[in-house]
Chain A
Amino acid sequence: MNSVIIVMIEDDEGHSRLIERNLRRAGVHNQIVAQTNGGDALRYLLGPDGSGEVSSGRHLLILLDLNLPDMTGIDILSKIKSNKHLNRAPVVILTTTDDSREIQRCYDLGANVYITKPVNYEGFANAIRQLGLFLTIVQVPESA
């Protein structure tokens, strides 16, 4: 698990920080790469050429927010899941939307986990800590 890089795609830097803090409190010590917009996130994941070869051999776990300023998380999700180097990387959707159609769509596109951010902070912190506990035991495959 130590070599696993957590890629956090989240436009709200406050949320980003809160998520990171709570993950750390849950005992997650992995490297966390925060991306605040879709374009940067895709460049990181797929490389400048967009082929995804850059991620070959990486162990990636992606935390994805659906509401991004430049594109929707759905676009990013479908790009990840249709890329042969990235499609095995677990994707955790972490968003405020609890629209049932949205949830279905994400799973249809290959999302591994869908978590709605609780509105109150207690719930939020709790959910992230539980996610962190889950992440410490999950097996992440090496990207092809």
Chain B
Amino acid sequence: MRGMNVPLLADLLPPTSATLPRAQLPLFAGFTLLIVTGVASIWLAAAGHQETALVTHTLAVKAGTERVLTLAQDAETGQRGFLLTGEERYLAPYRDGQGHVLEAIADVERLTTDNPHQQAELASLRGLVTAKLAELSRTIAARRASGDPAAAIAMVRTGRGQALMEQIRASIARIEAEEESLLRVREADADRFGIVLLAVSLGGLVIALSLGIASFNATRRYTRQLMDKQTELSAINENLETIVARRTADLVQSNDEIQRYAYIVSHDLRAPLVNIMGFTSELDSTRETIAAELQENPRAPAILADYDEAISFIKAAVTKMERLIGAILTISREGRRTFRPEPLDMTRLITDQADAQRHQAAASGLEVTVDALPHLVADRLAVEQIFGNLIDNAIKYQAPDRIGRIHIAGETVGSRVRYQVRDNGRGIAQSDFTRIFELFRRAGPQDRPGDGIGLAHVNTLVRNMGGNIEVSSKLGEGTVFMVTLPKTPPPPARPTPRSEAA
């Protein structure tokens, strides 16, 4: 399992906002282009609309000039009819034309205010029309006056009226020609605008289409990446769970093996120890015989002293070894013991515990205070052993120069509870913080009885309960042990806990 290729977490995460723009840069550019095309189309369409308006304007100008011509011709037609017949009713077209033709010229003038060339032409046209109207009016007056058409017709025959009319026609033709040419230019402009607009619109359409395809592809690619990553992630999650389960099983197994090993070792070490002890005692019981035999020997006291010393060293060593083996056995048995969790009133439990140790405390003038502590569901015996050991240590390692104070406090931290056993004792050097939890290791001056078992035992218990123990201390000032335990015991790691019958 070691060295397994576990992908980095960063590889598994979907592309973040930081990496997104780079992937989407073409899309971003495309959208910008599309917006530019849109704006251009609108501008071109507006411009095209203006061109159309100009074309309409040209047509209006042409219609105006046509009307001028029609009205002028109407006036002349009316005049001719009257001159021939002398009847007033033939004058109707004349009156109409005479009444409106100047107005019509004014209309065209208004339409062409922006064109000085046309204005000039229109001014000359107005002159011609005015002159024509004057000529018409003169001949009509002459006819009315004489009653004989001859004189009036003679006036017509001078050809002046005809010449004026031709000039009017020519002028109108020029105005129209000018407008025609303008119209052609404008139509060409409008056509060009149309083509450009079409091209730009088509371009826009193409860009929009490409963008659509690109977006679709990008989205699909991104989605696929996401899905791939997700699949990968869930696979790894499953894998992780398997790894954790397998490691937990491995740990439980190796823990079991260690416990078993410790048990067997301590057990098997005891057998030879019984022999050493037994035969030492046997040897000791022959001492009297030896002493009797050596009675005459002057070196007898020295020999017997050596003998006694050897025996006492062997016995002391064996006793010590016996205690150590007993401790290993206890701890290994503790590890195999099945906890029986029950709700514990911790304030009560620790107060009772402190009371039980108070006789010792009272002897050395020690003060023990217990706060209201958060409750706990745990194995009573284990909890008693943990805090019994910690309180015992606090009592054992008081500072010689002051009254000992032990304070036990507790708090709830999420789903766990943390208890503190604080003392003002002699303290522990920081370099010994780890060492004190190891079996058979002790710290500080070795002036108190003990084998270095208590805290190792506490550590094992706390860990087996799914908690942890920490120490903070200052040499010469005091020590705080912090025991953190789950509020309720975790589910057993092994499905069938090894049960040891009571």
Contact = CB atoms under 8 A, between A and B. Distances in A.
Interface residues of B, number: 21
B322 A119 contact: yes
Interface string B489-502: 00000000000111
A12 B275 contact: yes
B183 to A, nearest CB: 119
A99 B281 CA distance: 28
B271 interface: yes
Contacts of A121: 274, 277-278, 280-281
B274, B325, B326, B500, most chain A CB atoms within 10 A: B274
Given A104-B501, A119-B270, A125-B281, 7 more contacts: A14-B279, A96-B274, A99-B500, A100-B501, A117-B274, A119-B273, A121-B281
Contacts of A99: 500
- Residues of A contacting B: mostly: helix
B282 interface: yes
Interface string A48-83: 000000000000000000010000000000000000
A130 interface: no
B270 A125 contact: no
Contacts of B326: 119
A125 B278 CA distance: 8
B447 to A, nearest CB: 26
B36 to A, nearest CB: 88
Nearest to B315: A121
A18 B275 contact: yes
Given A21-B282, A96-B267, A15 B274 contact: yes
24 contacts: A12-B271, A14-B274, A14-B279, A15-B271, A18-B274, A18-B275, A18-B278, A18-B282, A21-B282, A67-B271, A96-B270, A99-B500, A100-B500, A100-B502, A104-B501, A117-B274, A119-B270, A119-B273, A119-B326, A120-B322, A121-B277, A121-B281, A124-B274, A125-B278
A96 B265 CA distance: 13
Nearest to B322: A119
A121 to B, nearest CB: 4
Contacts of B279: 14, 18
Contacts of B281: 121-122, 125
Interface in B275-289: 275, 277-282
Contacts of A12: 271-272, 274-275
Contacts of B280: 121
Interface string A91-122: 00000110111001000000000000101111
Interface in B218-271: 267-268, 270-271
A13 to B, nearest CB: 9
